[in-house]
Amino acid sequence: MTDEGRGPEPGQDGPEDAGEPERAPRKATEAALGESIFPHTDTFYSGPELNRGVPADPAFIRVLSRIEIALGVALFALIVFGTMYQVLGRYFPSVGWVGAGEVALMSMIAMTFITTGYLVGRNGHIVLEIFDEMLAGTRLFVALRVISAVIMVATSLALAYEAFVKIETEWGRLSAAMHLPVGVLYLFALVGFLSAAIHSGFKIPYANRPERKLDIGEMEG
């Protein structure tokens, strides 16, 4: 007699129960995420169409962004070089160079400044979105974005002015290892904050449209 018409033996899982062991961890994970205090964050990888419907940047903004990305990548490479050279010097003291750490440190500071505008233009900076969800879909939300952009423009211009002042006052002070003028760092700050003001100002006439989000794929390209 064949077993085709028989049901599962006692203690065995039927077809409906076969997936239960796999679904249990998934349900536990979803429950844990549901209790998390951190909300879901969209990125280029979790939302490839994140910037659909966003108005295209003008040519000037696109060129400025490409320059900022190129400089940021070059400075990041200098950070890696300086750090790895320090590690190499620990194992081979004969090739050690005291300026390696300074190269990494100054490049990190310069990269932070030079990418300010790019991040501000794509909401890659730190923001406090307190009223955004409450006002979403209303005219007050558009007014909120305009006010935020105006404040960002004013803040960026104030920081750019301070950087301009510091260039002159800090130019005569040299770094300890490579004897580079410290004022060079404030050149990067001046360019970065001016770029942030430009990117923020560009948001004002498009406050009623979807806002551009940080696209990691654009940075890789």
Task: Give CA 33 to chain center in angstroms.
Answer: 23
Q: Tell me if 203 sits within 8 A of 145, measured CB to CB.
A: yes
Domain contains 26: no
Domain contains 40: no
Please state, for a pLDDT cut of 90, what percent of the chain lies above it.
34
Q: What does the pLDDT read at residue 221?
A: 46
Banded pLDDT at 165 (limits 50, 70, 90): very high
Tokens coding 96: 């050690």
> What value does the mean pLDDT take over residues 108-136?
78
Of the segments 98-112, 133-147, 202-216, which one has the largest average pLDDT value?
98-112
Domain contains 53: no
Type of residue found at 54: V
Domain contains 162: yes
Q: What does the pLDDT read at residue 125?
A: 65
Could you give the 3-state DSSP secondary structure of residue 174? Answer: strand
Look at residue 211 and tell me whether its pLDDT is greater than 70: no
Could you give the number of structural domains in the chain?
1
| Residue 212: other Cβ atoms inside 10 A | 21
Q: Tell me if 102 sits within 8 A of 184, measured CB to CB.
A: no
Look at residue 151 and tell me whether its pLDDT is greater than 50: yes
Domain contains 64: yes
Look at residue 190 and tell me whether its pLDDT is greater than 70: yes
Look at residue 42 and tell me whether its pLDDT is greater than 70: no
Type of residue found at 209: R
Domain contains 30: no
Is the pLDDT higher at 185 or at 138?
Answer: 185
Nearest to 106 by CA among 69, 80, 79: 79
Alpha helices in the chain (DSSP H): 20-34, 59-91, 99-114, 116-121, 132-135, 139-170, 183-203, 216-220
CA 195/CA 192 separation, integer angstroms: 5
Residue 203 is part of which domain span?
Answer: 59-220
Look at residue 168 and tell me whether its pLDDT is greater than 50: yes
Domain contains 209: yes
Domain contains 163: yes
